[in-house]
Amino acid sequence: MRYLTSALVSEGVTDDQFLPRLLGRALTELCNTEFDEMVEVADVQPLRRRNGPCSVDEVIELVRRNAASFTLVFFHHDQGANAERVDTEWLRPLRRLWGDRPERLVPVVPVRETEAWLLADGDALRTALGVQWTDAQLGLPKHPKDVERIMDPKKILNDVLRRVRRSVEDHFGQLGELVSLERLKLVPAYQRWWSETKNVLVEAGYRPL
């Protein structure tokens, strides 16, 4: 049996509440369905120096401080309105500085924001918030892939939370446990994360089915 450890360097504190739980579930499913060996998946560990996003140099320093502790390091950065900017300003410099580190780097780049992934599953929102509103009343698209067309997913989520007088912080961790992985598989950015993670694990010696 293999033991898979991973860390997350994210943009913000709320991302540290949602993404580790979601990615941990997704990693477990990926290993169970894509590889021909038993894999025990450890909890995804957030790495953070301060509340806001880390610079590229700070990301490298965080990984150095935890050298050889993780097989995978997930680097999260929302795409925003410019996909090329994330690649040019973050991913390329990060890969260049990564060098021959033993940890495997995997980007996590939701379109446009992490909140878009929360909007892919109306049932998860209804359960977390204790409401019976339809997807339309929640402001959700009919198909999960269309969350990437929402210009401001954070605003939609915050509007819903204000209607029930809750804060995002109250529910990010819970939604990380509830959001349907099957629905997320229909979201292109999540599909890319899944494929890149699988490829990285194959490079690390995991046997695919």
Mean pLDDT per 10-residue section of the chain, whose length is 209 residues: 96 92 98 96 92 88 93 95 88 95 96 94 94 95 96 92 76 92 97 98 96
Rg from Cα positions in the chain: 17
Residue-level pLDDT at 108? 97
Residue 58 belongs to a domain: yes
Residue 23 belongs to a domain: yes
Residue 209 belongs to a domain: no
Burial of 153 (0-12, 13-18, 19+ CB in 10 A): buried
Residue-level pLDDT at 168? 61
What is the domain count for the chain? 1
Q: At what angle do helices 13-34 and 188-203 cross, to 10 degrees?
A: 60
Residue 208 belongs to a domain: no
Residue-level pLDDT at 167? 66
Residue-level pLDDT at 14? 87
State how far the Cα of 86 lies from the Cα of 100, in Å rounded to an integer. Answer: 22
Residue-level pLDDT at 29? 98
Residue-level pLDDT at 132? 95
Q: Taking the CA of residue 108 as centre, how many other CA atoms within 13 Å lie in the half-sphere pointing to its CB?
A: 26
Q: Tell me which residue range forms the domain holding 172.
A: 2-203
Residue-level pLDDT at 97? 96
Give the predicted TM-score (pTM) of the model: 0.94
Residue-level pLDDT at 151? 93
Within 10 A of 97 (CB to CB), how many other CB atoms are there? 13
